[in-house]
Amino acid sequence: MKSFDIPVFYRSPLISKIKHFRKSGDPRKKDYMPTSLDFGPVVFYIARHFGFCYGVENAIEISYKAIEENSGKRIFLLSEMIHNLEVNNDLISRGVRFIMDTSGREIMKWDELNPDDIVIIPAFGTTLEIEKKLSARGINPLRYNTTCPFVEKVWNRAESLGRNNFTVVVHGKYKHEETRATFSHSKESAPTVVVRDLAEAKVLGQIIKNEKPAEFFYKRFKHKHSGGFNPEKHLDRVGVVNQTTMLATETLAISDYLKNVLIEKFGENSIKEHFADTRDTLCYATHDNQNATYALLDTDADIAIVVGGYNSSNTSHIVELCSEKLPTYFISSSEKLISDKLICHFNIHNQKEETEENYLPDKNPVKIILTSGASCPDSIVDDVLQKILSFYPDVKKSTDVLNEINAL
């Protein structure tokens, strides 16, 4: 796989070495078990897969290249490059400005742009409508296009489904940048509807089975379907694609559910005429990170710490998985570890930061799951690990721990 030129300050002296060690020993990714780092009073379980994925490294490389190649010019990002505050803040410190926020609200007016400006398309991609706006301003929207190749793969499959007269069901968060982009591309070639989760897919199933009228569809999926969508016609042939950061298991569950609904309606023998298999559009990085999280949960850890941007969809799903088994703390950086007695963490349910006392169990050793989302630099995860180690006396040196791993 291609290796990317990303700033060295996103790497780390410990975490990056562990990743290199695991990759060398398991190039085909057959072993999802975590790496155990025994520092004496603290044991960390480090996920087999986490942190920057192919799409994120690609986006970062292109972004810094755009800055390097266009000294003196105004450089803009459509919205956040990725969902990580540290990365976005570093780009801002280098003079990059944002045109929109993550929800699509304008921070500046489009008519403020001129043909000499540089505009970077973020890793999530963008809508066809925005591409046309940029072109109308004399700006080539694809010059610095960091859209993840796996997102583009989803778009290509949606186009293929449309050519074959299938309707596209997008599993995603309708207001998320990536889903907005996927919806924009998909609706050009196919009737398209967005479902948030399996529960919403089951509502769609009721409509397919004629248990709910068309009027119910238009009310329930308002703003979530393409123009001219006819639920009495367009739900007889469907294929499912996803926002690549969603739980792969849930995308598969939605696909299986809708397939079974269509089998119930049209019969097993004709299912290929009514349901398209799109499993190969699932993002490998999201799949690997989630499988690595399941393997983490097979350990005897006391708590989990997940590091990443609070608006990161894939990171939130890792938090959800960990929370089902053990106390889990979602933090954006080591600064949230206020002391060995107090942590400031993000509650994904009420979308607020909260403080909690005595989050570290009073035992020896304390066993901690440590992982991150796909948009989190290794350096930030390393900072978190080192901050926790600073709370304990007589911890082993990192070099000694690495040597123990290499000796296995």
The tens digit of pLDDT for each residue in 112-146 reads 999 999 999 999 999 999 999 999 999 999 999 99
pLDDT in tens, 249-278: 899 999 999 999 999 999 999 999 999 988
Burial of 97 (0-12, 13-18, 19+ CB in 10 A): middle
Residues of the chain with CATH 3.40.1010.20: 8-53+285-407
Check whether 229 has a pLDDT greater than 90: yes
pLDDT of residue 1: 57
With contact defined as beta carbons under 8 Å apart, do 125 and 147 qualify? Answer: yes
pLDDT of residue 25: 87
Q: Are strands 75-77 and 118-121 parallel, antiparallel or unpaired?
A: parallel
With contact defined as beta carbons under 8 Å apart, do 52 and 291 qualify? Answer: no
Tell me the pLDDT of the chain averaged across its residues: 94
pLDDT of residue 349: 94
- Residues 148-168 have a mean pLDDT of 95
pLDDT of residue 407: 62
54-145 fold? Rossmann fold (3.40.50)
Q: Are strands 275-276 and 303-307 parallel, antiparallel or unpaired?
A: unpaired
Residues of the chain with CATH 3.40.50.11270: 54-145
In the CATH scheme, what architecture does the domain 8-53+285-407 have?
A: 3-Layer(aba) Sandwich (3.40)
pLDDT in tens, 171-218: 999 999 999 999 999 999 999 999 999 999 999 999 999 999 999 999
Out of 10-14, 213-217, 280-284, give the one with best mean pLDDT: 213-217
Q: Which of 178, 200, 211, 250 is catalytic?
A: 178
Cα 192 to Cα 176, 211, 224, 330, 366: the distances in Å are 16, 21, 8, 34, 49
pLDDT in tens, 303-335: 999 999 999 988 999 999 999 999 999 999 999
Check whether 377 has a pLDDT greater than 90: yes
- 381 pLDDT band (50/70/90 cuts)? very high
- 81 pLDDT band (50/70/90 cuts)? confident
159 is an active site residue: no
Global pTM value:
0.88
Whole-angstrom distance, CA of residue 295 vs CA of residue 308: 20
pLDDT of residue 286: 82
Name the class of domain 161-243+246-282. alpha beta
Burial of 25 (0-12, 13-18, 19+ CB in 10 A): exposed
